[in-house]
Amino acid sequence: MEGDQCLPLASPLHLLSHGCVRVLFLENDDSFSLNVVESLPVDRQDVLVRPGREVARDRALLDGADVVVVGPGPTDPMRAGIVVVVQAAALRRLPLLGICLGHQALGLAFGAELVRVPPVHGKQTEIAFSGSRLFPGFVGRAAMMRYHSLALSGIKAPLHVIAQTDDGIVMAVEHETLPMAGLQFHPDSFASPRGKELIADFFRAVA
């Protein structure tokens, strides 16, 4: 967009920006990363995409961001090396939305376990949302696309479960006080009809 007011993400002057939200997106070797970027309620030019491993090494990259989105990817958050990024973002009290692998990283950073579940890839599931602070528009059921074979288990404070499948698999978590949430499913998929609405809900809540 011509004439946009946002400064480059890394600028120390970012506080002077005019209402734009600068997003740091952690890319984790996935083939759905740009789908997530495209689903955010911001312009693509306001999203800085960096490999998750790079942000894990250079946590100063977090300093220019208004919102951190930890994207999906294969393996698990320990092997992907991104749990430390969630911990660093929590110290800075930065809003953070984790998707799939990013959701699992959020769980591991706050004491949950990661377990194998029956793999579900490319299938839509009805998910029950229990009502939450960071997704106020979502109570009740919504169909979302799933791509995972691992899931969080043993969620404990300060996290709590805000959505699950009918067979009890954790589908979303939220922090009690910090602006941090995780989604196990893919709101970015074409087969998640209310996915963008869900992400927009989070951005409004943490703005």
Partner 1 sequence: MKLAELETLPSFALLGPGFGGDPFLLLRDLRPQSSADSLLVFARFEEPGTRALKLSPGTASPCAVDFAEKPRGLDVALAAFDYANKVGQIREAIANGDVYQVCLTVRALVSAGSGAEILSLMCRRGVPRFAAWVRLPDGSEFVSASPELFFETDGRQVHAEPMKGTARPGAGGALEASDKDRAELAMITDLVRNDLAQVCRQKTVHVANQRRVLQLPYALQTVSDIVGVMDHGKVALDVLAALHPGGSVTGAPKQAALAMIRRLEPDERGAYCGALGMVTGERSVFSLLIRTAARTSQGWAYGVGSGIVFDSEPQAELDELRVKLGAL
Question: Which residues are near partner 1 by CB under 8 A?
Answer: 29-35, 37-38, 43-44, 73-76, 116, 118-119, 121-123, 145, 147-150, 186, 188-191
> Cβ 119 to partner 1, closest distance in Å?
4
> Cβ 94 to partner 1, closest distance in Å?
24
Nearer to partner 1, 175 or 186 (CB): 186
Taking CA 9 as the corner, what is the angle to CA 19 and CA 187, rounded to the nearest 5 degrees?
Answer: 75
Nearer to partner 1, 46 or 174 (CB): 46
Tokens representing 21 are 């939200």
Tokens representing 166 are 């009918």
Tokens representing 88 are 């660093």
> Cβ 103 to partner 1, closest distance in Å?
13
Nearer to partner 1, 89 or 101 (CB): 101
CA separation for the pair 207, 80 (Å, rounded)? 28
> Cβ 146 to partner 1, closest distance in Å?
10
Nearer to partner 1, 136 or 154 (CB): 154
